[in-house]
């Protein structure tokens, strides 16, 4: 497993595997490194606030990313502007890195929008609730940009790649295997990014597979790497390398970010029914934010003034999220039919008309 920071926040210098990735980190400025920390703290605050809002009845459900911040910020920051990301429903940190306002995410979980951001503007596609389906969407999109000639030209501003996010549970889905097959055969420029948080709802990963997940790539004929998913530097370096390989025309790549879901699968779930609290306590000691903060401070790359400023910024962001959520207007119900197709569609128009008539049938029934 590739690791560049120990859980105590000390840099891993030895080992051939780690050495292959250190150049990516060494190229980062102190400002960029502090930016990584800021992202980690801010997206955790968004997650905390969203969880609280759900518990207060303001969201229908929330899928927490607690513990997976480094996997998402590290990989999100490795993306080039022209790359495309296909998320599942928990990639709040990647969304943040792509410039999506967290209120768009909360609006979807509140049931007042269908995402709310423009995937063509953000190069961050809409959340996918169906487990693993987005890996096929990502592979198809990668084949498309390949045919558009945006791969392997040697122009760093033109060459593009696609990244598909999914969890360990999704690897049991046929969609993921099919995506692996198509990507391998077509040499598609797609990076499969698996966040192995060790629990597919209540099923532990050791009951999902006989081998480490990254080794599955070998059977399909492309590379796979396991990285410490709580080490933001290692995740950044490994993902950046994988994306470079894809952009240059070397085909697909599988990254397994080995991490841990410290919270529930969703707020509808109670993890105390299927796992022991001692495991959670162990992983709290591997907290991705604490280890990176320790390293920044030890190296003199950030001081208490910076850390205090980030906390203040997090407080402001939490207020923005709370106020913005409570002020969201109820949607116009028939608007769910908008933007389904670019052009008018007769079947959709008929369904919209039926929906409006059905709702109108209740008018005055409560008087």
Helix runs in 168-267, H state only = 174-186, 216-220, 232-247
Six-digit token string for 10:
């000390």
Check the CA dihedral 172-178-179-182 and report its sign. positive
H/E stretch holding 48 reads helix 30-55
Catalytic machinery residues: 261, 265, 274
Question: CA-CA distance, 101 to 336, in Å (whole number)?
Answer: 21
Residues 6+ apart with CB under 8 A from 342: none
What φ, ψ does residue 224 adopt, rounded to 5°?
A: -140, 140
- Give the count of alpha carbons within 13 A of 62, CB side only: 25
Question: CA-CA distance, 137 to 164, in Å (whole number)?
Answer: 9
H/E stretch holding 193 reads strand 190-196
For the chain, report the end-to-end CA distance as a whole number of angstroms.
Answer: 66
Nearest partner of 328 among 56, 89, 111, judged by Cα = 111
Query: How is residue 334 annotated by DSSP?
Result: G
* Cβ 168 vs Cβ 143: under 8 Å: no
């Amino acid at each position: 497993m590739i690791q560049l920071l120990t859980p105590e926040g000390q840099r891993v210098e030895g080992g051939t595997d780690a050495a292959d990735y250190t150049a990516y980190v060494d190229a980062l400025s102190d400002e960029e490194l502090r930016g990584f920390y800021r992202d980690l703290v801010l997206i955790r605050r968004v997650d905390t606030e969203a969880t609280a809002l759900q518990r207060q009845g303001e969201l229908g459900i929330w899928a927490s990313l607690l513990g997976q911040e480094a996997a998402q910020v590290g990989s999100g920051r490795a993306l080039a502007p022209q790359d495309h990301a296909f998320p599942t429903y928990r990639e709040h940190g990647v969304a943040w890195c792509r410039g999506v306002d967290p209120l768009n995410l909360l609006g979807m979980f509140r049931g007042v929008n269908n995402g709310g951001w423009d995937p063509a503007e953000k190069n961050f596609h809409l959340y996918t609730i169906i487990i693993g389906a987005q890996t096929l969407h990502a592979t198809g999109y990668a084949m498309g940009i390949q045919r558009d000639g945006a791969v392997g030209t040697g122009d760093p501003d033109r060459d593009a790649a696609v990244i598909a996010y999914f969890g360990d549970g999704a690897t049991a889905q046929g969609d993921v295997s099919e995506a692996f097959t198509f990507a391998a055969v077509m040499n598609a420029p797609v990076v499969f990014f698996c966040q192995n948080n060790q629990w597919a709802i209540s099923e532990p990963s050791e009951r999902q597979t006989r081998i480490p997940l990254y080794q599955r790539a070998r059977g399909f004929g492309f590379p796979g790497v396991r990285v410490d998913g709580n080490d933001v530097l290692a995740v950044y370096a490994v993902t950046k390398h994988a994306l470079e390989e894809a952009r240059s025309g070397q085909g697909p790549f599988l990254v397994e970010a080995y991490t841990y879901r410290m919270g529930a699968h969703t707020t509808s779930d109670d993890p105390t029914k299927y796992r022991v609290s001692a495991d959670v306590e162990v992983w709290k000691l591997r907290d991705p934010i604490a280890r990176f903060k320790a390293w920044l401070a030890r190296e003199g790359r950030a001081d208490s003034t910076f850390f205090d400023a980030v906390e203040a910024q997090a407080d402001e962001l939490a207020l923005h999220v709370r106020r913005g959520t409570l002020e969201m207007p109820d949607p116009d119900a028939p608007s769910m039919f908008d933007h389904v197709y670019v052009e008018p569609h007769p079947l959709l128009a008929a369904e919209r008309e039926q929906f409006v008539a059905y709702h109108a049938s209740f008018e005055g029934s409560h008087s």
